[in-house]
Each structure stands twice: as C-alpha cells, then as structure tokens.
Amino acid sequence: MKIPREFWIPEGAEEVNLDGANCVVYTYLGGKDAPCAMSFYGKKSKATDRYRFATVEKRDTWVADTLANAKAWEDKKAEDKAKRAADKKEAMAKAVVGDIYYCSWGYDQTNIDFYEIVAKKGVNIEIRKVSKILDRSERGADYVCAKKGSYIGEEVIKKRFNGSGNITMNSYSSAYPWSGTPKYETAWGYGH
C-alpha cells in the first residue's frame, strides 16, 4: 500500500509553490519552533528534501531557490522537447529518397551496415539494407562503401527520425547520413 503524501506533511504546514515548477514546498515549525521545510517533486508521495534551518530567512531563501531550480528544470525539458521535434522535422525535410545512411555497431569489433531511403510517407521513412563494397583493406581494418540500389533481401523497414535527426535502428545503434567517404570496420578474421 502506497502511503499518501499527506501522511508526511506536518499539521499546520503552509504550502508554497510556483507555477510551472512541478514542485511543491511545505514550510512549518519543527521541534523547539525551528523553521523547517520539505519539498515534493512531481507526483512523489515521499518528500524529496526535508531540512531544518537556523533562521526563517535561510529557510525562505532555500524555498525560493528550490522552486526556481525546479521551474528552470521544467523550462529546460520543454525547450529540449521542442528542439528534438524541430530536429526531427528538419531531418525529415532534408531526407530524399535515395539517401544512404550508415550504422556502426558491434562488441569487440566494428560492423557497418548501409541503408537506403526508398520512400517517405508522412512522418515515416522506409529504408532497405544495401550491399557494401570494399574500398581498401589494411591490417585488421576494412574500409567499405555502400553499393546504392543493390538491396539485401526484400525487407522494407519503416522508421522515424529520432530527436537527433538520425534513425534509431535498435537499442544499441543508430543510422547516420553517409557522406560517401569509406567507413572503417573490423576486417574479416580480426573479430568477425
């Protein structure tokens, strides 16, 4: 059973909040009439902070700073969300059917996969995996390029651009726009 927030708030405590802060602070007098305060962030039912202060002025300064910091954090989150949405929109506008994206992934080795955009539909793109060709090889290193139009398999993958303007392929890799320069991957026999 979850204990409600009201259980932790002392009797006679005064609520102090700031619009857009997603935080509420309660001020009260503790033992020996010492000025005290506690804060709750979001929907938490247990206090995030609980302090006893030497003076009422120090408590009031802490309350103002706590609420100002909470509001600044919420403003930053909203700003970041708007930027990610704008980046997604910009990436979608720049993307052209035929563009190649590369994905670098691997544990104890580096693998490169290339994908070509084959369609744009609303906020989604459709990509297909394309073959790669060896540009040059060095000791333990291959440098590969995409072979545009040379698809591997019939699978069409539906994706969206993420907040960074790239394509999240799975939990461990993203695809980035390919500039046409050969990409490094671990050579065969050195980890493959």
Predicted pLDDT at 59: 97
pTM, two decimals, is: 0.68
Rounded to an integer, what distance in angstroms lies between the CA atom of residue 22 and that of residue 191? Answer: 50
Mean per-residue pLDDT, 47-60: 95
- On the question of pLDDT at 190 being above 80, the answer is no
Per-residue confidence band for 192, with pLDDT thresholds at 50, 70 and 90 = low
Predicted pLDDT at 85: 87
Residue given tokens 């033992």 in the structure block: 31
Predicted pLDDT at 171: 87
> Greatest CA separation found in the chain?
80
Rounded to an integer, what distance in angstroms lies between the CA atom of residue 108 and that of residue 191? Answer: 7
**Of 53, 78, 93, which residue is a domain's last?**
93
Reported as a single tens digit per residue, the pLDDT across 111-157 is 999 999 999 988 889 999 999 999 988 888 999 999 998 999 899 99
Selection from 9, 57, 52, 6 nearest residue 31 by Cα: 52
State the residue range of the domain holding 136. 100-186
148 located within any domain: yes
Do 67 and 137 lie in a common domain? no
Predicted pLDDT at 111: 92
Predicted pLDDT at 137: 87
Do 64 and 125 lie in a common domain? no
192 located within any domain: no
Structure tokens at 35: 């000025």
Do 152 and 174 lie in a common domain? yes
Do 46 and 122 lie in a common domain? no
34 located within any domain: yes
Predicted pLDDT at 191: 67
Higher pLDDT, 61 or 170: 61
**Of 38, 67, 93, which residue is a domain's last?**
93
Rounded to an integer, what distance in angstroms lies between the CA atom of residue 164 and that of residue 70? Answer: 25
Reported as a single tens digit per residue, the pLDDT across 71-113 is 999 999 999 999 988 888 888 888 899 999 999 998 889 999 9
Mean pLDDT of the chain: 91
Do 131 and 179 lie in a common domain? yes
Do 9 and 89 lie in a common domain? yes
Rounded to an integer, what distance in angstroms lies between the CA atom of residue 184 and that of residue 134? Answer: 10
Do 112 and 86 lie in a common domain? no
Do 22 and 62 lie in a common domain? yes
How many domains are contained in the chain?
Answer: 2
Do 13 and 88 lie in a common domain? yes
Do 120 and 180 lie in a common domain? yes
Do 115 and 159 lie in a common domain? yes
Predicted pLDDT at 40: 95
**Of 93, 122, 149, which residue is a domain's last?**
93
Selection from 98, 100, 95, 97 nearest residue 183 by Cα: 100
Do 112 and 68 lie in a common domain? no
Q: What percent of the chain has pLDDT over 70?
A: 99
130 located within any domain: yes
Mean per-residue pLDDT, 16-20: 90
Q: Which residues, other chains included, contact 170 with Cβ-Cβ below 8 Å and sequence gap of 6+?
A: none
Selection from 5, 6, 78 nearest residue 42 by Cα: 5
83 located within any domain: yes
